[in-house]
Amino acid sequence: MEEKKIPQGEAENTEHNNEAGSPGAAGEPGSAVQGSSPGQVDLPETEGEETAGEQGQEEVDVQELERRLAEQTALAQDYFQRLARMQADFENYRRRMNREREEWFKYASQSLVAELLPVVDNFERALAAKEDDPAQVVAGVEMIYRQLMDVLTREGLSPVPAVNEPFDPARHEAIMQEETDSYPDNTVIEELRRGYYFKDRLLRPALVKVARAVSKQENNQ
């Protein structure tokens, strides 16, 4: 077969065009980048910008946390100071109340003693007149007794009912019994020592003698 000869100039142009259109040729239009898929567009890298934005946001968050921490610290200090003042006020109040209570107990009977002083004066007068008429001495003692009972009654003293009352172990103390048909069974017939209430509290019981019904055998005799 006869070979066709190509002029030297055309051969050089053909080789140049083949090199320009061959895949992988760098820097020429239409050349493919190694490792890239068809249709993929490479974007510029933004990693540095994203990192700077995150750092700025972190700085804002830290400043906000520091501000909130400062507010809460100041609030806690204010509460602590208020609590300390309240504790000091309460301690002063407790001491004052204890002092007032001690003074009250110390002088609680002052008014009673003041009311009893006239009774003491009358006793002194009666003792000074013991060699005078005995009847006057007795009258003076009776007056002193009434005066004393008036003072104690105003303070809340009252006698326990006894004679002719049914025996009540809550306010009577029986130290004697007597068989009799003159009184109902278990009735107080004599008061040996008077009992007293102080306001609504039993101060001491009354010592009494209690009636006991006569047995049937004794009645038959």
Listed by start position, the domains of the chain span 158-216
What CATH code would you report for 158-216? 2.30.22.10
Banded model confidence at residue 47, pLDDT cuts 50, 70, 90: low
> pLDDT tens across 11-33, in order?
455 554 455 444 444 444 444 44
**Higher-confidence position of 169 and 45:** 169
Report DSSP letters for 172-217, one per residue: EEEEEEEE-SSS-TTBEEEEEE--EEETTEEEEPEEEEEEEPPPHH
Task: Report whether 34 contacts 24 (CB < 8 A).
Answer: yes
What are 203-212's pLDDT values in tens digits? 999 999 999 9
Can you give the pTM of this predicted structure?
Answer: 0.54
The Cα 217–Cα 214 span in angstroms is 8
- pLDDT at position 24 is 45
